[in-house]
Amino acid sequence: MDNKKLKKYITTFNTQTWDNKKDSLFSGYWSTSHKHHENISEKKILNYHWSNKSKLINDYEYLRKVYDQTLNKLVGVLNKHHKVDFTVKSWSILLSPWLISILSILFDKFETIKLALKKNKKYQTKILQYADEDFSSINYKDYIRNKITNDDWHHLIFTDLILKTFPENFVIKQIDKKVKIDKNYGYLTFKEKFLKFFSFKLFLKKSIFFLDTSHIKFIDVIKLMLNLNQFPFWISGFDETRCLTQKNINLALRTKLNNELESNTKDQFEIYLEQNIFNYLPMSCLENFNKYQIEAKKFSFKGQKIISRGAQLSNDLYKHWSIIQAEKGVKHHISFHGGGIPLKDINFGYEYKTFEKIIVHHKPFHKKQIKLPVLNFNKKIEYNSNSRDILVVFKPSNSKYLTRLDYCPNGPEDLEDFNILLKFAKKVNKKFQKQIKFRFFNDNWNFNDRLKIFKKDENKIYIDSLNKTKILVSSYLLTPFSEAIAGNIPSVCLLNKEKWIFNEKFKPLFDEMKRNKLIFFSEKECAKHVNENYSNILSWWSSEKVKTIVEKYLENIFYIENEEKLSIWSDYIKKGKNK
């Protein structure tokens, strides 16, 4: 076939890789921008493969299997290379947050290309120049901040898959422009610098327990430490220093380690994975591993228990320190800092295989779960009957691209969710529309430009927004919805039914909320409810049925105990303390 007649395949958003739009197939909405959408036919944008619910469920279980296999293989190679004998459980602390994400990203793109090839067997595509070292990140923070949000990094992955797995299906045209992946690593805020300065290692050394202070008020940390009879050590003390964040990638070593992985599969995706996974591994796990271990050992700890509240995901120095403690037999518990109705599963269940206890705020359904009150909820919400705002809350969107497979909308499906909220807003009575304010935490999809006639909520602090809210409409049943409910703000949730898969144990509560109009699947029905009740919203919200459901929600989903929460937490932390 004449190459000029081949359809052009556009992988990501970079107009230099675009060709004649009339003869192009875009891999997803991420490969265009808001201002271009109106000029591109929907038929030229590939449907998202995980829009199929049954496929998502099957692929989730497949990737769970691949995750377990890959983790075990990485542990064998890394133990040998670093001359250590860490358990799979210890390595999981360091590797799993990244591994779960990169597997999801790679498989997502692999399946996207396969779907495109069902439409045409061959394409022409343009690729940008890149270097092999661009695949890897310095550490997990660099990975989250500078890689997963970067169009060119995702372009690089599409390109690598095309060149190594589907070369016969693409005619390549290379562009001279060099991909720019690296950005500023990021700096500590003044508050973080302050807390790092006052995190004396002597305090940690003399502590019996360590509590990750993420998402806890300063005064509550002090009170908790007094209850525990020890000095505080803030999580900022573990912030990675510049000597740990040097980019010193060793490509020859990575090629060697890729070759050491056992290959016993004929699966096309798994073959790519085995031949390339070390190309993506953060340097904190490989080239800088020994530096991290040496630095982590400076944080002496002779205590009995660690409780993490987010740092087990984000901070690689803290993860290295946690490995050292795990190898000594120190118990490691983790806590989710917010909460809502639990999903069917998250993170391929890695938390339950890795940590001793999981602190939750909902009714426990697993033997490892412990129910404790929400630690970072401080009741400052006072419903004002004169409030007029209809606050529309959209879930955080970390990237335009899928970055972790979940039983809920993620990445490209965030745009679909946002459009559902826009449709709802347009169906609200015009005399109330001027009261609508949209709140979103990231703007990867140019949400602000898409609002057009509607306003963005400009409050930096969520509580300040709730104090001006007459009724809240949320796109998801997690922390912001729960906090509004706990603050007695009239609240409803408009869910994308096909994209959310919740734990079956909470189905009776979910169904009851739906019957009594706290949950909607239709933007039309949700708008109708708001239109009918806006002028007298408390008549609905204060009804006995709704009050009963709200009480059930707080009891089963979002355990609030403001007066006693610190003593309950300190009692739990001290439980099992050696005399």
Q: How far apart are CA 411 and CA 399, in angstroms?
A: 6
Predicted confidence (pLDDT) per residue in 537-573, tens digit:
999 999 999 999 999 999 999 999 888 999 999 999 9
Q: How far apart are CA 137 and CA 145, in angstroms?
A: 10
Please give the DSSP secondary-structure letter assigned to residue 567.
H
What is the chain's mean pLDDT, rounded?
A: 91
Residue 443 in this model has a pLDDT that exceeds 50: yes
pLDDT-based confidence at 19, cuts 50/70/90?
Answer: confident
Predicted confidence (pLDDT) per residue in 359-388, tens digit:
999 999 999 999 999 998 877 788 888 899
Asked if 484 contacts 376 with a C-beta cutoff of 8 angstroms, the reply is no
Helix, strand or coil, per DSSP, at residue 441: coil
Task: Give pTM, 2 decimals.
Answer: 0.94
Phi and psi dihedrals of 187, rounded to 5? Answer: -120, 160
Q: Return the percentage of the chain with pLDDT > 90, whole number.
A: 74
Phi and psi dihedrals of 234, rounded to 5? Answer: -75, 150
pLDDT-based confidence at 38, cuts 50/70/90?
Answer: low
The pLDDT of 226-248, averaged and rounded, is 87
Helix, strand or coil, per DSSP, at residue 133: helix
Bridge partners (DSSP) of residue 128 are 175
Predicted confidence (pLDDT) per residue in 444-489, tens digit:
888 888 888 899 999 998 999 999 999 999 999 999 999 999 999 9
Residue 315 in this model has a pLDDT that exceeds 50: yes
pLDDT of residue 579: 37
pLDDT-based confidence at 244, cuts 50/70/90?
Answer: confident
Asked if 485 contacts 550 with a C-beta cutoff of 8 angstroms, the reply is yes
Integer-rounded Cα radius of gyration of the chain: 25
What lies within 8 Å, CB to CB, of 525 at 6+ separation is none
pLDDT-based confidence at 512, cuts 50/70/90?
Answer: very high
What lies within 8 Å, CB to CB, of 213 at 6+ separation is 195, 221, 232, 234, 235, 236, 309
Task: Please choose, from the candidates 320, 396, 366, the residue with its C-alpha nearest in 3D space to the C-alpha of residue 91.
Answer: 320
CB atoms within 10 A of CB 441: 12
Please give the DSSP secondary-structure letter assigned to residue 467.
T
Asked if 488 contacts 391 with a C-beta cutoff of 8 angstroms, the reply is no
Q: What DSSP string describes 185-197?
A: -----HHHHHHHH
Residue 242 in this model has a pLDDT that exceeds 50: yes
Degrees (nearest 5) of the Cα angle 249, 253, 255? 105
The pLDDT of 226-253, averaged and rounded, is 88
Containing 116, the helix (H) or strand (E) segment is: helix 88-119
The pLDDT of 296-305, averaged and rounded, is 94
pLDDT of residue 450: 86
Q: Residue with structure tokens 């790092």?
A: 196
Residue 293 in this model has a pLDDT that exceeds 60: yes
pLDDT-based confidence at 21, cuts 50/70/90?
Answer: low
What is the token pair recorded at 409? 């909308």
Q: How far apart are CA 281 and CA 253, in angstroms?
A: 12
Q: How far apart are CA 397 and CA 475, in angstroms?
A: 12
**Higher pLDDT residue, 165 or 447?**
165
Residue 217 in this model has a pLDDT that exceeds 50: yes
Predicted confidence (pLDDT) per residue in 408-441, tens digit:
999 999 999 999 999 999 999 999 999 999 998 8
What is the token pair recorded at 307? 């409780």
Phi and psi dihedrals of 379, rounded to 5? Answer: -70, 100
Predicted confidence (pLDDT) per residue in 80-123, tens digit:
999 999 999 999 999 999 999 999 999 999 999 999 999 999 99
What is the token pair recorded at 301? 């700890």
The pLDDT of 196-202, averaged and rounded, is 76
